[in-house]
């Protein structure tokens, strides 16, 4: 007798159009640019600036923004550790599909736990997972506080806030690290150029 929800009765179907054919059509190689860092570190700024730069170059990309996804795909998740893990797992699976379609997927999420980011990287064994660490000091991020969340966390009105009473685990071997130079934060165009140059040099902007 069949059981509802029994995953043993589902099967993988291969598409008659392969990844290489999709990439040739788009003249680019699918990949995931995973931008991680504290709230206020500039993740979304970089994500959308890079999105615009790639569009200008005639490349197809799409931004998976952590806040936006919590309005839909992940709206049933909170911010407990297990919910954060499931949040990242879902985004990783969606990002993998975008990359398989031949797009340059730009994922912008705090993604505070190393094991969760590593699990997303493991979904893409062909080295098309590019981790970008927004390595900005807490005092810089808190000083920006664009959403007023640090203020609420310091006042005890938000519990489990990354960087205040919940940890952020920095990447140990990211592909790109964005940080201050001589005490000055890079501008959005500078950050965008650094990531776009990496993609170009690595061959992702051609089939």
The active-site residue, picked from 49, 61, 111, 128, is 111
CA atoms within 13 A on the CB side of 159: 3
Residue 111 falls in the annotated catalytic set: yes
Write the DSSP string, 73-142: TTTT--SSHHHHHHHHHHHHHHHHHHHHTT-EEEEE-----HHHHHHHHHT-TTS-EEEEEEE--HHHHH
Coil, helix or strand at residue 19:
helix
Active site residues: 111
């Amino acid at each position: 007798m069949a059981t509802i929800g029994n995953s043993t009765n589902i099967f993988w179907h291969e598409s008659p159009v392969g990844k290489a054919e999709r990439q040739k059509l788009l003249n680019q190689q699918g990949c995931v640019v995973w931008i991680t860092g504290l709230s206020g570190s500039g993740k979304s700024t970089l994500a959308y600036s890079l999105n615009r730069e790639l569009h200008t170059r005639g490349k197809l990309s799409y931004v998976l923004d952590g806040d936006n996804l919590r309005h839909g795909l992940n709206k049933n998740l909170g911010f407990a550790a297990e919910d954060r893990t499931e949040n990242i797992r879902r985004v990783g699976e969606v990002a993998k599909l975008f990359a398989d379609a031949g797009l340059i997927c730009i994922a912008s999420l705090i993604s505070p736990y190393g094991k969760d980011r590593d699990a997303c990287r493991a979904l893409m064994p062909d080295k098309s997972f590019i981790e970008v660490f927004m390595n900005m000091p807490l005092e810089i991020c808190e000083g920006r506080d664009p959403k007023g969340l640090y203020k609420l966390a310091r006042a005890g009105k938000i519990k489990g806030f990354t960087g205040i009473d919940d940890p952020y685990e920095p990447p140990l071997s990211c592909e790109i690290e964005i940080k201050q130079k001589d005490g000055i934060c890079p501008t959005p165009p500078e950050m965008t150029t650094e990531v776009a140059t990496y993609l170009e040099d690595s061959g992702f902007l051609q089939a």
